[in-house]
Amino acid sequence: MSTVAVMGSGSWGTAMALTLSDNDHRVTIRARRAEVCDKINNDHRNPDYFADLELPVTLRAERDPQTAMQDAEFVVLAVPSQSLRETLSEWRIPDRAVIVSLAKGIELGSGLRMSQVIMEVTGIGLERIAVLTGPNLSHEIARRQPAAAVVASVREQTAIAVQQLFHTATFRPYTNTDVIGCELGGATKNVIALAVGMATGMGYGANATASLITRGLAEIIRLGEAMGADPHTFSGLAGIGDLVATCSSPLSRNRTFGEELGRGRTVAEIAGSTRQVAEGVKSCFSIKALAEKHQVEMPITYAVCAVIEGSLDPRSLVQALLARAPKPERY
């Protein structure tokens, strides 16, 4: 039994807090709003996410971040990638606590992965930081449907400790020391899912979506190798596994965001109609910047960026990709 603080009461934070509670850990979830804390503590419901799902009675909610993290051995960060730096700078992480990052994104401006942001803001070494990623749709995990994941850390013992923390009868984490590959896989698949969603929203079928997924994976591998990742990582759960789940499921925020774009709605209209964060909408520009920095060709990513910024419409995206010069599949 460990003492765990889950910092964030969104869908992902709630699902992970439930998973940890199933393992009989002492879990506190941090919610920003007092009414959410009251509902979790008294009614064992999160009114904003999974309102129909009863949460474990042992799960406690706190509004004050330092109270939530008091005596925590593990601090699980369920914070959107683009607000992680600002949020984390306001908190004081307990001494010797292991930090687990759930965010899948690349920071705008700096081009840093989330583990790098955490290290830069807190001064905590990478050996105390782990990343949890993989084909993990929060709604399915919250309902205890079978799922696998990857826990990555530069220190194998840290990855193993976090693996044991989360391993339940329905949630099976594997370990990996390739943090670069695992984080890149989690961030870049969101951008490809936006493209797949656009194709679906325009009425295209399996041929188009399978082509985008496959060529998207090629982009991810090229960028990963250029940045020092192990290419084998992308054939596993953090790569193709996460990519397929995010591109295929109607529960995926990025895919559904892309679908709405494909149906003709604007970025502003879609963003204003949901509290859910589609990480790829912002991270696509960070990933494009990484591609430029490392001189890696990523045509799908570039096209998605053009749609998000309004210089290209979804139908033109497809036409632009198809009109590119013919070339070998591997080059």
Same domain (yes/no): 140, 246: no
Tell whether 152 is covered by a domain.
yes
Same domain (yes/no): 47, 151: yes
Predicted pLDDT at 320: 85
Angle at 217 between CA 307 and CA 188, to 5 degrees: 55
Whether 241 and 220 have beta carbons less than 8 Å apart is answered as no
Find the CATH number of the domain harbouring 223: 1.10.1040.10
Tell whether 331 is covered by a domain.
no
Tell whether 330 is covered by a domain.
no
Q: Measure the CA–CA gap between 69 and 62, rounded to whole angstroms.
A: 9
Sequence-distant (≥ 6) Cβ neighbours of residue 90 within 8 angstroms: 65
Same domain (yes/no): 113, 205: no
Predicted pLDDT at 211: 94
Boundary (domain end) residue, out of 177, 201, 222 = 177
Same domain (yes/no): 145, 223: no
Q: Measure the CA–CA gap between 300 and 318, rounded to whole angstroms.
A: 9
Tell whether 329 is covered by a domain.
no
Tell whether 265 is covered by a domain.
yes
- Could you give the 3-state DSSP secondary structure of residue 84? helix
pLDDT less than 50: residues of the chain: none
Sequence-distant (≥ 6) Cβ neighbours of residue 169 within 8 angstroms: 22
Q: Measure the CA–CA gap between 74 and 93, rounded to whole angstroms.
A: 10
Predicted pLDDT at 331: 66
Tell whether 114 is covered by a domain.
yes
Predicted pLDDT at 15: 96
Q: Any idea what DSSP says for residue 42?
A: I
- The pTM score is 0.92
Q: Measure the CA–CA gap between 226 and 242, rounded to whole angstroms.
A: 20
Same domain (yes/no): 197, 171: no
Same domain (yes/no): 265, 314: yes
Whether 4 and 29 have beta carbons less than 8 Å apart is answered as no
Encoded amino acid at 151, one letter: V
What residue numbers bound the domain in which 220 lies? 190-322
Boundary (domain end) residue, out of 177, 199, 215 = 177
Tell whether 50 is covered by a domain.
yes
Same domain (yes/no): 142, 204: no
pLDDT, tens digit, for every residue of 167-207?
999 999 999 999 999 999 999 999 999 999 999 999 999 99
Same domain (yes/no): 134, 35: yes
Same domain (yes/no): 102, 210: no
Whether 262 and 197 have beta carbons less than 8 Å apart is answered as yes
- Could you give the 3-state DSSP secondary structure of residue 75? strand
Predicted pLDDT at 276: 64
DSSP per-residue codes, 176-233: ES-HHHHHHHHHHHHHHHHHHHHHHHTT--HHHHHHHHHHHHHHHHHHHHHTT--GGG
Whether 212 and 247 have beta carbons less than 8 Å apart is answered as yes
Question: What are the φ and ψ backbone dihedral angles of 125, each rounded to 5 degrees?
Answer: -70, 155
For tokens 């530069």, the residue is: 154
Question: What are the φ and ψ backbone dihedral angles of 155, each rounded to 5 degrees?
Answer: -105, 115
Find the CATH number of the domain harbouring 152: 3.40.50.720
Same domain (yes/no): 241, 201: yes
Predicted pLDDT at 322: 83
Tell whether 327 is covered by a domain.
no
Boundary (domain end) residue, out of 177, 207, 227 = 177
Whether 189 and 176 have beta carbons less than 8 Å apart is answered as no
Domain tally for the chain?
Answer: 2
Same domain (yes/no): 142, 81: yes
Q: What is the largest CA-CA distance in the chain?
A: 61
List residues with catalytic annotation: 189
Same domain (yes/no): 150, 225: no
Across the beta sheet with 74-77, the strand order is 60-62, 26-30, 3-7, 74-77, 98-101, 129-133, 147-152, 171-176
Predicted pLDDT at 323: 81
Q: Any idea what DSSP says for residue 55?
A: P
